[in-house]
Structure 1
Amino acid sequence: MEHIDPYTLLIEASLIIILSFFFGILSKKTNIPSVLMLIVLGIVLKFGLDAMGMGNINFFPVLEILGIVGLIMIVLEAALELKLERDKYLDIGKSLLIALIGLVLSTWVAAMILEYFVEGMDTGTAWLYATPLSILSSAIIIPSVTGLKASKKEFHIYESTFSDILGIMLFYFLESQMHGGADALGGHGIEVAEHSSQLVEVLLYLGMILVTILVSLIASYLIVLIFQNIKSHVKLFLLIAVLLFLYALGKKAHLSSLIIILVFGLLIANMKLFFRGRLKQWLNYKQAMHIYEDLHVVTIETAFVVRTFFFVIFGITISLASLVSVDVAIVSLLIILSIYLIRFAILRIFIGKDILPQLFIAPRGLITILLFYAIPEEFIVPGFEPGILLFIIIGTSLVMTLAMIRDKKRTGAALRKAGETPIGYERWRAPTLAETIVEKEPEG
């Protein structure tokens, strides 16, 4: 590959960020997810690179790093917006339950579809492949639901954040089970002793999660108490570096590292809840609030930049040829159909009749792509077409777009109707003495 002028790269990177900003504005006006526009931009850039003879660049290492950093920033951004107020505990618990049930059922059905249609796919690998396809994308959902009323917006923030975390935990649990030499979901001929071993491993994994939460709480308290006393003006990226360090360290120690990010975000966003009793005297609330406010801005900006380059590079790396396959279309459509049927049943049970547009806000995105590329090489199934991944991401995003546009039109029509209906009024006058006497006279 020929040497690329650094100024040319700088111009291209700047133009991509500028375009992404305008995509965001266009997304708010049209309800088309900016993620789709970024992927299309990447596909267009791919044609340009091919024309210049630069189509063989390996973008995967960059894509992997951007995905990890983007995942951390998105979860942190969501956690900083979650207020743990007493009157919201029920809504948070309901969102967690919906995310958990939806994830497990969607993974189960998608695994059965993949095992039936994809050659070489057994039960364990089917579940491993199905998990990324069953995770909601907070990277797409959170920027897209800003126009919904507060209760629905909060539900989607809670649900998508929980889906991200639970989905990642399920994926790495399944991976650890398969590395252990046993089929995580059970296959033919598994003995009772193996089931007992799996139960012990599940309990150990749950214990590891509890340990992760405890470590996350201790680390989060220490970070807040230390950083509130730092006087330097360059402490925000130092704080982000510490969080990235803890995340990577947790991954090396086989902990559910995303919990560390979530717990820290929740703690600093709800300091009055976590710093009570004797802990309250250690907190400089004014200084800590400055950290929270500045961190919120930096997180949003960083997530925007990382998300932009991630989806553009993903667009560059995808193969459009796989989308025209009939097998890809059949498998993808069956999985998409199962997603909405399962979601309809769950929302109908837990929320009731008012499930629009929530029913159709179930896109797949960044974490789906990231986990798909994280599947270990020994579990790669040659018969699985990557086009299924792209088909489901585009399909669920388009369904969400149409639902949001329809909801926006319905809301606008209702507001116009209310504005066109005049409010009646009647001029009041004091009753006369004669009218008062007539009213008081008994009948008959």
Structure 2
Amino acid sequence: MTTYTALIILSGLVIFSYLFDLIAKRTRVPAVLLLLALGIGLHFLVTYIGFKTFNFLTILPALGTIGLILIVLEGALELKYDKEKNGLILRSFFSALTILVSTSIVLALILQHLSGNTFSACFLNAIPFSIVSSAIAIPSSKAMEDHKKEYIVYEASFSDILGIVLFNFMLNNPSVKAGSFVNLGIETFSILLLSVVSCLFMLYLLSRLQHHVKFFLIISILILVYAFGEQFHLSALILVLAFGLFLNNANRIKLKWFRKYFLYPKLSRDLRQLFQLSAESAFIIRTFFFVIFGFTMNLQELINLEVLEYGVVILVAIYLIRFISLKYIGKTELLPEIFISPRGLITILLYYNLPDNLKLKGIETGLLFLIILGTSIIMSLGLLLSGKKEAPEPIFD
């Protein structure tokens, strides 16, 4: 493959992704599905032509992690905090926690019944399927009313964070003991302390940088701190959510020393530019991630009856538990929130982080694709049937 051929393919993918976003706004079909279909189509085309490609699975986890960081940052940069929202934040947190834990337990019991493996192994395999994907949920909430959109952003972000915490906890503690929870408490305190220090440092840096290129530096530092946190098994996605919320609400902090050293006149303008940059970067990363995932998928797994059996049972459990939790824990409107429970980027990332010896037979990329496809179709139909009007396109300065 020549350099120019590669450039044609890469730019073509971005153009198609943009068109898919326009189609998604009109039809409510998530752009993710269209990107997956494009990846599958490219795989057939490449196989037919005889192009040689390298193993894209080696870059998929890194792409997905960067995409996750940027998407959560983008969502957090849109959130304004005030005391009246404490109830919404708490409800979304406990709803996300209840749905995550309940779904993981139920799916673990189902997988144990179907596979005959130990409960702990089944529980670990069930966690990725129990997490709402912020990479799909947050963009899909753009056309909703503000209070509904905020609920979805908080719930999806909390679901990702709590899911990663639970996944790392179970991965590092095959046998749960009292000391395991002590370590969890220490890790949680450590990431909260790291978040406070990092947020102050990055805001101070943002106010002092005079170079015309500074937002990519801030994002790079954020990714660097995230990676260090994850290396020490800390749930560093908390840092990303905290940084976005902190920046967008810094002007509400009334402490004199804080306002003197950290706030500056051009903060609002810089926030708009950072939001624009993170949104466009997330768009690019998401495009390549889902196209590559579709490209690398083994379609033969979809005709496996065991995969179909697992898929149908998991989908029924997901929406039944979500209905109960939203009604009695989240105490929010059921439409269209009940349908916004997509699985996607975070499910794929956690699956690839599972050690091979802990992966269950029947839990393969085919099942991942089936669950992503099923939840995305259900979300599309739910949004369409809810009859919500399209939100106006944002105007960027």
Cα distance 1:353–1:161, how it changes in 2: closer, same or farther (>3 A)? Answer: closer
Could you say what secondary structure the match of 2:208 adopts? coil
Question: Match of 1:123, as an amino acid?
Answer: F
Deviation at 1:359, TM superposition (A): 1.0
Corresponding position of 1:169:
165
Distance in 2 (CA, whole Å) between partners of 1:383 and 1:107 is 17
Q: 1:386 aligns with which of 365, 368, 374?
A: 365
Corresponding residue for 1:156?
152
Aligned to 1:109: 106
- Matched ranges for 1:12-27 at <5 A: 12-27=9-24
Code of the residue aligned with 1:127 in structure 2: it is F
- Counterparts of 1:236 and 1:354, CA distance in 2: 38
Q: Is the aligned partner of 1:70 residue 2:67? A: yes
Match status 1:248 vs 2:245: no
- Spell out the pairing of 1:204-353 with structure 2 (5 A cutoff): 204-274=183-253, 276-350=255-329, 352=331
Which residue of 1 is the match for residue 92 of structure 2? Answer: 95
Indicate whether 1:42 and 2:33 are aligned: no
**Contact 1:46-1:55 within 8 A present in 2 as well:** no
Alignment-derived partner of residue 123 in structure 2: 127
TM-score by length of 1: 0.84
Q: Whole-Å Cα distance in 1 between the matches of residues 248 and 61 of structure 2?
A: 29
Letter of the structure 2 residue corresponding to residue 38 of structure 1: L
**TM-superposition CA deviations, 1:7-62 (whole Å, max 9, x none):** 11111000100010010010010000000000000000000111123466311112
Give deviations 1:63-117, integer Å, cap 9, x for gaps: 1111111111111111111211111111111111100100000111111111111
- Distance in 1 (CA, whole Å) between partners of 2:213 and 2:254 is 25
C-alpha displacement at 1:200, in angstroms?
A: 1.6
**Structure 2 residue matching 1:375: 3-state secondary structure:** coil
Task: Give the secondary-structure state (helix, strand or coil) at the position aligned to 1:286.
Answer: coil
TM-score under structure 2 length normalisation? 0.94
Return the alpha-carbon distance in structure 2 between the equivalents of residues 140 and 336 of structure 1.
17
2:340 to 361, 365, 372: 361
**Aligned AA for 1:285?**
Y
Deviation at 1:355, TM superposition (A): 0.8
1:57 to 50, 54, 57: 54
CA shift in 2, pair 1:147/1:226, >3 Å: closer
For structure 2, the residue ranges without an aligned partner over 5 or more in a row are 390-397
Aligned residues of 1:118 and 1:384 also touching (Cα < 8 A)? no
Measure how far apart 1:351 and its partner are: 5.0
CA distance in 1, matches of 2:95, 2:360: 31
Which deviates the most, 344-353 or 128-137?
344-353
1:203 Cα shift?
Answer: 2.1
Q: Quote the residue 2:392 is aligned against.
A: none
- Structure 1 residue runs of 5 or longer lacking an equivalent are 185-197, 413-444
* Corresponding residue of 1:81: 78
Partners of 1:275 and 1:263 lie apart in 2 by 18
For this pair of structures, how many residues does the alignment match? 389
Who is 1:417 aligned against? Answer: none
Identical positions, percent: 38
Question: Is the contact made by 1:224 and 1:288 (CA closer than 8 Å) also made in structure 2?
Answer: no
Helix, strand or coil: the match of 2:196?
helix
